[in-house]
Structure 1
Amino acid sequence: MKNKTVPEIRYKNIEDEWNLIKLSNLMNFSNGINAPKESYGRGRKMISVMDILSEERIEYKKIRNSVEVKESIESKNKVENGDLIFVRSSEVRNEVGWAKAYLQEQYALHSGFTIRGKKQNEYDAKFIECSLNYRNRYQIESKAGGSTRYNVGQEILKNVEIYIPSLKEQLLISTLIQNIENKINLHQQELDALKQTKQGFLQKMFPEKGMTIPEIRFPEFHEQWELKTLGEVLDSIYNGQTPSRNRKDFWNGNINWLSSGELNRGVVKTTIEKITEIGQRNANLKIVPQNTFVIAITGLEAAGTRGNCAILGMETTLNQSCMALFPKKNLLDTTFLFQWYRKVGENYGLKFTQGTKQQSYNAEIIKKLEICLPSVEEQVKIGEFFKQLDEVIEMKEKELEALKETKKGFLQKMFV
C-alpha cells in the first residue's frame, strides 16, 4: 500500500515523511488596498489579480498597476520576498484563491481584490505556490462562496492544510520546477519571435493594396503581379451541410465532418464529430480531399471566426459554415492561396460579408474577391517558404507542449 504522506517521486537519499500543516502556521493573512481612484497610476507598484493569474512570475518592473498611499497604509500592505499573494475574488471559480509566490527584493503593494500571505515561518514560497495551485487546489476551490462572483476569505486560507517536507527538499523541488519554467518561458519567447517573423513576411511578401510588386521577393522573379478575382482563378467552390441531428444513425460513424470552429489557420488533422455513410448520403455530402483549402463563411461578425481557414490534413465532409476553394491548377497554387488568405482574411471579413446580425460570405461574394498574383512558379516558391516556416513553428509548439506536460507530471507526482 502506498504511503500517502510522501510523494510518488523523490530525490535519492531523502526518506523523511512529510508533515501536515495549516497555512496559518506558515503565514498571516490580510486583504489589500482600496484607495480613491485618483491615487492609482503613480507611486509604488501594486500587485493585482492579473499579475497573479499571469503564467509568468511576478517581477516588480512588470507589475501592471501602481498606487500612491500614506506611509502608514503602505507599511501595512507590503508584499516582500517570500510572501504569497492570493486572488480574493473572481467571476471564475477556478481562479479564486489562486496563489503566486513573490520572489523579488523590491517590495510591492497589493490590491483589494487580493489577499497577502505574510511569511511568518520557514518555507520555500515557490514550493507552497505549487502545492496550493495543483495538488491541493481542491481545498480552496471547493470552499469558494458567491453567486455572480466567487470569493475566498482569510479564514478559508488559514485552514487550508498541506503536506510539506524539510526545507531542503522544498528547495530541491521548487528549483526543479523553476528550471522547467525557465525552459518553458524560453521556448515561448522563441515561438513568439517565430510567429512575429512570419507575420512580418506575410506583410512584406504580398503586395500592399494598389501595388503590384511586394517589398520582399525571391531574386529570380521580376515580373509584376496581376490583379484577378477569385472567380477567374478558381475551378470550383463547395460548402456542405449538417445531417439531421434527430437521426442517431447519421452520427458517430467513421467519416470526418468539419465545422468552422475547427478551422485553425493551419493544417486540420482530425474532426470533433464524425458521421455515417447513411448520414453522408442523406445530406448529399461530398468527401473533400486532403490538401484542400477551406474557409469559414458564416459567423464572421465574431473576431474569433473572421478570417478562419485551414488546409485539410485529411479527407472530410463539411458543414454549411465551411467552404472549400478549388484553384485552377495553371493559375493558382493552393498553398499560396492559403497564405494569402491568412494575411487578408480578417480584413476581407469586415469589408465584404453580408447580413444583419450574422455576417456571411456566399459563392458570389467569394468569386468577386480580389487577389494579386505572380506566376505559378513564384506562387509555389512563396507557398513552400511559408509551409517550411509553419513546420518550424509547429515543431516549437510541440516542444513547448511537451515541457508543459513534463511540468504537470512533476507537479502531480512530487507533491502530496
Structure 2
Amino acid sequence: MDNKKNGIPKLRFPGFTGAWEQRKLGEVADVRDGTHDSPKYINEGYPLLTSKNVGNGYINYDDVKYVSEKDYVQINKRSKVDVNDILMGMIGIIGNLALIREEPDFAIKNVALIKHTSNFDYQFLFQELQTNSISKELLSGMDGGTQKFISLKKIRNLSVMFPSKNEQNQIGLSLARFDDLIALHQRKLEHLQEQKKGLLQKMFPKNGEVVPEVRFPGFTDAWEQRKLGEVADVRDGTHDSPKYINEGYPLLTSKNVGNGNINYDDVKYCIRKDYVQINNDQR
C-alpha cells in the first residue's frame, strides 16, 4: 500500500488488477477534531480522552480526566465518536491511532476524529493510516517546538490510496486478523509480566528482612546484605557531547535502555575515534 507512484501495490490478492485511486483523506472521510476548550475536570464522570490515550490501535484510560455530563454532551455535539470511527493523535506522538470497536462513552480533546462513511471500508483505512507513506507525510507536516502537533487541515490533506470496495474489504479483514493475534499475545504477555512482578516481590527479601517469602527447596540460610559497589564494578558512560553523524557507532542514552533490553529508537551515532575514546575512558 506504500507505492503511490504507479498506484499498484507490490503484493495483491488474486483477481484484483488496475491502479488504485489517490485521494485526499478529507475528500472521502468526515475529518474533525475534539474540543479545544478546557472544561472543568471532576473526580468522576465522563472520560475526556486526549492524544496520550490513543495508540497501538486502541484506547487506553491512563491518567484520564473526567468531565460532567453537561460538558460531555456539549463536546459531542461537535465531535461525537461512534463505532468504526478512527481516532488519530494530533499532539505529542503524532499519528497514534485507535479504531473504535465498541460503543464509546467518552469525549475527545485535541484528537482527530475520522468518521466512518460509505466511501471506504473502515478496516482498510485504519490499516492504510499505519503505512510508512502516511507516517512520513505526518512527520513532514508537524509543527511546534518541544510539543509537536499537526493541524486538522494537514490531516485532511493526507494522500490516501483506494482500490475497489471488494479489495479494500479483503485487505482490511486480512490485516485485522493480525491485530487480533497481536492483542491476544499482548494480553498473555501482560499476564506473564504480572506473574513475574509477583514472584520478584516474594523471591527477594523485603526491606529489613534477610529471608525471602518464597524459596527453592533445600535453601535455608539468611541472605547477606552488601552495597552494589562492593560486589560489582559500577561505572557510567561519557559526560561529553561528541559530534553526531548520520551513520557510525551507536551512542546509547537512558532512553535506549528498558524492559531488560537495548532499543535503538532515535539513537544517535558517533565516529570511530569518539567510540574508541569513550570506551577507553570506561575501562
Same fold (TM over 0.5): yes
Q: Deviations over 1:201-251 (max 9, x none)?
A: 232223334434321122233x332535469x95x8586998x999xxxxx
Answer yes or no: is the 8 Å Cα contact 2:56–2:97 preserved in 1. no
Partner of 1:225: 222
In the alignment, structure 2 segments of 5+ residues that lack a partner are 243-247, 263-268
Quickly say closer, same or farther: Cα 1:96–1:274, change in 2 above 3 A. closer
- Structure 1 match to 2:266: none
TM-score by length of 2: 0.70
- Please say if residues 82 and 124 of structure 1, whose CA atoms lie closer than 8 Å, have aligned partners that are also in contact: no
SS for the counterpart of 1:140 is helix
- Residue 116 of structure 1 and its aligned partner are, at CA, apart by 2.1
Matched with 2:70 is 69
Q: TM-score, normalised by structure 1?
A: 0.50
Q: 2:50 aligns with which of 48, 51, 58?
A: 48
**Structure 2 residue 67 is the aligned partner of structure 1 residue 57:** no
Contact 1:84 1:100 in 2 (8 A): yes
CA distance, structure 2, for counterparts of residue 157 and residue 266 of structure 1: 37
Count of aligned pairs between the two proteins = 261
Residues of 2 paired with 1:4 and 1:118: CA distance?
Answer: 28
| C-alpha deviation, 1:6, in angstroms | 1.6
AA partner of residue 81 (structure 1):
V
- Pair 265,186 (structure 1): closer, same or farther in 2 beyond 3 Å: closer
Q: Which has the larger radius of gyration?
A: 1
In structure 1, give the amino acid aligned to 2:77: S
Give the aligned partner of residue 33 of structure 1.
Answer: 35
Contact 2:51 2:96 in 1 (8 A): no
Specify which structure has the higher proportion of strand.
Answer: 1
1:138 to 136, 139, 158: 136
Q: Does the 8 Å CA contact 1:101/1:129 hold for their aligned counterparts?
A: yes
* 1:132 Cα deviation from its structure 2 partner: 2.5
The change in CA–CA distance for 1:49 and 1:263 in structure 2 (over 3 A counts) is: closer
Within 2, Cα distance between the matches of 1:151 and 1:245? 28
Q: Is the 8 A contact 2:29 2:119 kept in 1?
A: no
**By percentage of residues, which structure has more helix?**
1
Aligned partner letter, 2:64: R
Deviation at 1:43, TM superposition (A): 4.1
CA distance in 2, matches of 1:26, 1:4: 20
Partner residue of 1:22? 24
- For residue 318 of structure 1, report the CA deviation from its aligned partner: 7.2
Secondary structure of the 1:122 match is: coil
Q: Which residue matches 1:190?
A: 188
- Identify if the C-alpha distance between structure 1 residues 107 and 12 changes in structure 2 by more than 3 Å, giving closer, same or farther: farther
Q: Which amino acid in structure 1 is aligned with residue 204 of structure 2?
A: F
Identity %: 22
Whichever residue aligns with residue 126 of structure 1, its letter is Q
Indicate the SS of the match to 1:46: strand
CA 1:169–1:36 in structure 2 vs 1: closer, same or farther (change >3 Å)?
Answer: same
Return the match for 1:152 from 122, 137, 150: 150
Q: Tell me, in whole angstroms, the C-alpha distance in 1 between the residues paired with 2:117 and 2:144.
A: 30
Secondary structure (helix, strand or coil) at the match of 1:133 reads: coil
Distance, in Å, in 2 between the alignment partners of 1:212 and 1:58 is 43
Q: Which residue in the other structure is 1:114 paired with? A: 111
Tell me the C-alpha RMSD between the 2 structures.
4.3
Deviation at 1:164, TM superposition (A): 1.0
Match of 1:387 in 2: none
| Matched residue SS, 1:163 | strand
Q: Which moved more, 1:143-152 or 1:77-86?
A: 143-152
Segments of 5+ residues of structure 1 without an aligned counterpart are: 247-251, 284-316, 323-416
Q: Match for 1:225: what amino acid?
A: A
Please tell me whether the aligned partners of residues 84 and 102 of structure 1 are also in contact (alpha carbons under 8 angstroms).
yes
